[in-house]
Amino acid sequence: MAVVDYGMGNRRSVEKALAHVGARPLVTRDHEAIRAADGVVVPGVGAFPRGMRNLRELGLDEVVRERAAAGTPLLGICLGMQLLFERSVEGEAAEGLGLLRGAVRPLDARGERVPHIGWNVVRFERATRLTAALPQEVAFYHVHSYVAEPADAGDVLGTAEYGERFVSAVARENVVGVQFHPEKSSRYGLRLLAGFSASCGSAAATTPAATAPATTSTPAHAA
């Protein structure tokens, strides 16, 4: 499994969490290694325009699109989920990978502090292999100031509430994304990663044990 290294945070913590659930992750920006992988993870923390700029400069945007089009399981995490969409209004605005229809806009926190940092319950709207080992409602750790707004309601997998009710997980065929950080979300985050790894054929059969969530400091800029 390839964890795409485009210089935008949380790569190593995602790698460690995937290894914990029995996957064999490789943090890489090598095109051929990504093409050879049985699954692709696009992690990330930070600003959408910079993330897309980094992907384009490294030629990774086309490789990720190629793998998605080939049916390879693809998981976007935090900023990585936002990059799956067509565009964002953040900063100078930018076009995304366009794997899912829709845009990324500021979170309407309705008076709550932004960025949104903390544990919030995600309500899953439908069953998928990714969430098969999870309750319908479960708390995950979020760090973000922007949210994705899918154009297709059928792409919404899970929602959470912080001020407004926002989309926290999406799925369309082999392309999935989560706004939260499963690698920092204790046992249920690990179960979600195990579900993704299983869809790639690279996960251990056992369910991971619970672990304490990692301590996270407030970022200079949250996705």
In a domain, 210, yes or no: no
What span, in angstroms and rounded, lies between the C-alpha atoms of 97 and 99?
Answer: 6
CATH number of the domain encompassing residue 10: 3.40.50.880
Identify the active-site residue in 90, 142, 144, 183. Answer: 183
Among residues 84, 5, 83, which one has the least CA distance to residue 37?
A: 5
Q: How far is CA 217 from the centre of its chain?
A: 19
In a domain, 206, yes or no: no
The confidence score (pLDDT) of residue 195 equals 95
In a domain, 211, yes or no: no
In a domain, 219, yes or no: no
The confidence score (pLDDT) of residue 95 equals 97
In a domain, 195, yes or no: yes
In a domain, 87, yes or no: yes
In a domain, 212, yes or no: no
Contacting residues for 209 by C-beta, under 8 A, at least 6 apart: 187
Domain that residue 87 falls in: 2-200
The confidence score (pLDDT) of residue 93 equals 84
In a domain, 111, yes or no: yes
The confidence score (pLDDT) of residue 201 equals 81
- Domain count within the chain: 1
The confidence score (pLDDT) of residue 222 equals 62
**Count of residues for the chain?**
223
pLDDT averaged per 10 residues, the chain (length 223): 94 96 96 98 96 98 98 98 97 94 98 96 93 95 98 98 98 98 97 95 44 41 61
Identify the active-site residue in 142, 144, 181, 200. Answer: 181
Identify the active-site residue in 78, 142, 144, 200. Answer: 78
To the query of whether residue 78 is one of the catalytic residues in this protein, the response is: yes
